[in-house]
Structure 1
Amino acid sequence: MWLLDPSRKEVLRFAVSCRVLTLVLQVLTRFLGSSTPIVYWFPAHLLQDQEPLLRSLETVPWKPLAGDSPPGQKVSRNSIMGLLYNWKTCSRVTQCILGYFLTYWLLGLLLHCNFLPWT
């Protein structure tokens, strides 16, 4: 029966190792996110290559106003917001990239506000 009952040393060792692992992961992701622009360049490169809506905005020298949008499509001054407004017409790659960053942002917002470990 003594095998099922963990001692205080084992519980403390487990808690400290989990906390150290969490801290190391948080610090590593902060360093990578702030010092490595490749993490952001690669999705931006994929968006520029794969998304026809962004390519059409590149050819126009002026940014269209929200009131001048074609019927059925809402065009924003911000190209990312334009992609979010036209979510259904975006390519699958664009939907995956935007979904990843939106999920990361939303999880970070919810977990950080609840004092849970998140970077």
Structure 2
Amino acid sequence: MELVSRQDPCLREVVWFAVCCRALTLLLQVLTRFLGSSSPILYWFSAHLLQEHEPLLWSEGTDNQTTAPRSEKSLLGKSPGSCGKGTSGNPVVRLLLNCRLITPLSKCILGFFVSYWLLGLILHCNFLPWT
């Protein structure tokens, strides 16, 4: 009877630690959802860095770089999602396929987004908390 009526200080510390950990993970999940989903600034800044520092994307055309114009015949010959010979229509796929040629900054940016995607896929499928 003495053990049940007496409060264990270790039990209080364990419960306090568990509550703090849960509050912290909840806060981090909510923050990443708000910042990642509702604020495009992260994506704008990464796209700006990729467009400024990656020569493989300069063929897409910006005001700062000189580009060779695409012929209309090459655009009409392939559908946007086709996997024919030549470069892909999607710039991210083109960067991932040419990962040995891209700059270290581009490798870091693409590595962050790909690892975030893979980690989220693995953790979410195993019913672990992930945003």
**TM-score (norm. length: structure 2):** 0.74
Cα deviation, residue 6, structure 1: 5.7
Gaps of 5+ in 2: 1-7, 62-66
Structure 2 CA distance for aligned equivalents of residues 8 and 110 of structure 1? 33
Identify the residue that residue 56 of structure 1 maps to in structure 2.
59
In the TM superposition, structure 1's runs of 4+ consecutive aligned residues that sit over 6 Å from their partners are none
Identify the residue that residue 116 of structure 2 maps to in structure 1.
104
* 2:21 counterpart of 1:18: yes
Gaps of 5+ in 1: 70-74
Identify the residue that residue 90 of structure 2 maps to in structure 1.
78
Q: Among residues 100, 104, 108, which one is paired with 1:92 in the alignment?
A: 104
Number of aligned residues: 110
Identify the residue that residue 72 of structure 1 maps to in structure 2.
none
Q: Which has the larger radius of gyration?
A: 2
* 2:128 counterpart of 1:116: yes
Identity of aligned residues (%): 59
Instruction: Give the match's secondary structure for 2:129.
Output: coil
Cα deviation, residue 67, structure 1: 3.6
Aligned-residue CA RMSD in angstroms?
Answer: 2.0
Distance 1:68 1:7, change over 3 A: closer
Show CA shifts across 1:65-103 (max 9, x none). 55452xxxxx11111101111111111111111111101
Instruction: Give the match's secondary structure for 1:76.
Output: coil
Identify the residue that residue 39 of structure 2 maps to in structure 1.
36
**TM-score (norm. length: structure 1):** 0.81
